[in-house]
Amino acid sequence: MHIRLIAVGDRQPSWVDEAVDIYIGRYPREWKFRLDSIATARRGKSDKSNNAREAEGEQILNKLGSNEQVVLLDERGKQMTSRKLAKRLSDWQSDGRDLCFIIGGPDGVSSACRERADSTWSLSDLTLPHGLARVLFAEQLYRAWSLQSGHPYHRE
């Protein structure tokens, strides 16, 4: 199974890229994990339209395969403990389809992206900067794998 993350925002601070790379380097090889970044659409200071969100949504949808299982990372999604995430990851893996996670832009994702998602996962009730959301996602995915495989990374 292939797992990937599509994230809006192509310019992250170096600490974000370094932290994400650390966890990606720990992922099992069979995941063939890939991070696809999409440039943030231009927004004017007083632009209240949905144009940027819709443009980013089109780019996201164009990158999705028709048979991919899609999980949207969004504050309106379901929160999970690390153990529940490990169980959910097992369910996703047993589905047989490739798995794609999405982190939207500063204004979230388009309604078309929301409709395309098979499920929605909230990392936290807190509002997180996009870079930190990437790091938290990468770490929690690794933690879920460690719980599945009996690796001693997770401690209770």
Largest Cα–Cα distance in the chain?
51
Contact between 119 and 78 (Cβ < 8 Å): yes
How many Å apart are CA 79 and CA 153, to the nearest integer?
Answer: 21
Q: What is the mean pLDDT of residues 134-144?
A: 97
Confidence at residue 48, expressed as pLDDT on a 0 to 100 scale:
64
Of 40-44, 62-66, 109-113, 127-131, where does mean pLDDT reach its minimum?
40-44
- Dihedral of CA atoms 107, 112, 117, 123 in degrees, nearest 10, equals 10
Closest CA to 4 of 70, 118, 133, 99: 99
Find the domain containing 54 and state its range.
Answer: 3-40+50-149
Q: Is residue 154 part of a domain?
A: no
Q: Is the pLDDT of residue 124 over 80?
A: yes
Q: Residue 104 is part of a domain; what is its CATH number?
A: 3.40.1280.10
pTM: 0.93
Question: What pLDDT does residue 55 have?
Answer: 92
CA dihedral sign, ordered 59, 38, 5, 82: negative
Domain contains 88: yes
